[in-house]
Homo-oligomer: A and B are copies of this chain.
């Protein structure tokens, strides 16, 4: 793996991290476990829904709050909140939600490359049901976000980011897969680091072979949780998945829920505990902000265990309130 200390990685870089993902506005509402059962929702899962299903779920839900979301976009906001520089590539339409999405990135200092926004379908949205245990169950109407193709990429921006960060959620259409391959090639040609988050075990299951070859061919740093890693390599245990991973990827940061995270390198397993939270309110964004902390640590040259600690710190902040992005400047939390 290219080390973050390499001159090539930082030479001429204008961004610490450039993210690519599904640009979504979150529609967040609280509901009971019974609501999940009544509407055939599986807790903690992200399901893709069509317009009709999105409309009927929304109608059934109580009053909601709209906040910009999108996994990689949340991560880029986390980078900026730590004081880093970030750019984000994601596709919205020039409608009310699309404009709000763009505003909320620019407002925290993330440069936004929306690609072509003259789309026939509206900006995507993610209907998030938060149950009393703070778990979030997501129903994503992709809208314009899933139309991202190579034409929407900004090669100059990608080449100018120390790290490229790609979101597995987007990896559902052939055009997006092509775009990921293209972006990774651009980043590697410029001597940059390529990272990927697996996002969702069901998404991994739908595209296992493609994910495996992408990881093997292009990914220097992999993010995911235990379930996603096991889904990727179809193993019985986490240890077996780690053994597989080591053959294909140089480093992985694996979150293990309330216990924290495990960093997998070629010869080490480094366990870093979670940062305690007084009360978990809404787990939306936990993985996204973990990645933000980890990546920020890497881009400022911290040792790996400190990178993981910064990830835990950012995740702890975001799960302590409703919404997928930090409410305080994360840089102020760093001791």
Contacts and interface: CB of A to CB of B under 8 A. Distances in A.
A279 to B, nearest CB: 14
Interface stretch (A95-103, A151-159, A208-216, A293-301): A95-103
Contacts of A59: 103, 106
Nearest to A108: B63
A63 B99 CA distance: 12
A325 B65 CA distance: 11
A62 interface: yes
A interface majority secondary structure = mixed
Contacts of A323: 65
Contacts of A68: 63
A28 to B, nearest CB: 9
Contact of A108 (B62, B65, B104, B122): B62
A80 to B, nearest CB: 10
A62 B107 contact: yes
Nearest to A95: B96
Contacts of A29: 107
Contacts of A62: 107-108
Contact of A100 (B66, B77, B122): B66
B96 A64 contact: no
Nearest to A98: B96
Nearest to A321: B322
Contacts of A95: 96
A202 interface: no
A238 interface: no
A77 B65 contact: no
Contacts of A63: 68, 77, 103-104, 107-108, 325
Given A58-B103, A63-B325, A66-B67, 16 more contacts: A29-B107, A59-B103, A59-B106, A61-B107, A62-B107, A63-B68, A63-B104, A63-B107, A63-B108, A64-B100, A65-B65, A65-B67, A65-B323, A66-B100, A95-B96, A96-B96
